[in-house]
Each structure stands twice: as C-alpha cells, then as structure tokens.
Amino acid sequence: MDSERSTRQKISEWVRRYLPLEIAGWVGELGAAAGTYWLTGSFAAAVVAGTIGASVGYYATPYINGVRWSYRDDAHRPWLMRVLVANFRSLRSIAIEFGPAEVIDSIVFRPIFLYAGPFLLGNVVVGWILGSIAADVVFYLMAIVSYERFTVLLVRPSVEEVSHESTPTIAAA
C-alpha cells in the first residue's frame, strides 16, 4: 500500500513539475509560429520560429524560478556575485535535468518517431501527433531519471517559499 501511494505521489510530483513547462512550451511554439506566419506568410519561417518559441517557452519557467530561488538563498553575497551565481546555478540545473534528455531526444528519438509515425499509421497528421507524443514520453522518462538521480544538484525553492506559493509555480522549478 505504501509503495502504491509513493508511486502515485511521485507521478503527481512529476506532473506538477513538468506540465506547466509543457504548457509554456506549447504557448511559445504556437504564439511564435502564428505571429511569424502572420508577419511573413511563410510556413518555413513559422516552423523555425515555432521551434525556437517552444524551447524558449519551455525552459524560461525553470530558468526564471531557478534564478529567483538561488538569488534569495545567497543574500550574504554582494549583488553582482549573487546575480552571477544565481544565473550559473539555474543554467546548471537545466543542463543537469534536461540536457541529456534533450540531446538524445533531438538527435535520436524525435526524428525517428516523427519520420516513422506517418508511414506506420498511414496518415501524416496522426503520425506526427502520435510520434511527437511517443518522443515526449521518452524525453520525460530520461528527464525524470536525471531529476531523481541528481536532485541534490538542482536549484529548489526554500521551505518558506513552498508554504507561500501556489503548486504550479513551485512545480515548474
């Protein structure tokens, strides 16, 4: 019974942690793609802008939260050093948690799934959607392994902040 509850708690923690990032990525992707297409009329430019927008949207939340939390934890440092250390720690956290998953996903799994999906399913749109979902599952499995294995190296909110902020804000660290 405890392991079942523990598993549910972990799944809930991962959903709270990664769902806001996924939503922010989709908003960045669709916003950048739509805006670029509206301005240029080019599908190619919209695809490039959407890809960049997705990454910016996805990683902005953990980066900003990481800087904010690290900056607060280093009140004893001079201002400039606080800023530099907070940015370094936030970037390190993102690299540790997402770096290996992003590299392997971008080079291996996502291209294979997006290429094979339409052929296996006989429908381009359905194949891309299901291929993207399959790639996301693999990405998150790898990110979760990094998160669980290297939690001690990640920037996290202090206990005081956890009791004063909403769950989605904290989860997006």
pLDDT for 49-59, tens place per residue?
988 999 999 99
Give burial (CB, 10 Å; 0-12/13-18/19+) of 125.
exposed
Domain that includes residue 74, residue range: 2-157
> Domain for residue 171, yes or no?
no
pLDDT 10s digits, 6-46: 989 999 999 999 999 999 998 998 899 899 999 999 988 88
In the chain, % of residues over pLDDT 90: 59
Give burial (CB, 10 Å; 0-12/13-18/19+) of 44.
exposed
Overall domain count for the chain:
1
> Domain for residue 56, yes or no?
yes
> Domain for residue 170, yes or no?
no
CA distance 96 to 103: 12
Q: What is the pLDDT at residue 2?
A: 66
> Domain for residue 168, yes or no?
no
> Domain for residue 162, yes or no?
no
Quote the pTM value: 0.78
> Domain for residue 79, yes or no?
yes
> Domain for residue 57, yes or no?
yes
- What phi and psi, each to the nearest 5 degrees, are found at residue 75? -60, -25
Whether residue 46 contacts residue 34, with contact meaning beta carbons closer than 8 Å, is answered with yes
> Domain for residue 8, yes or no?
yes
Give the pLDDT band (50/70/90) at residue 122. Answer: very high
Higher pLDDT, 141 or 2: 141
Q: What is the pLDDT at residue 168?
A: 47
Average pLDDT along the chain: 87
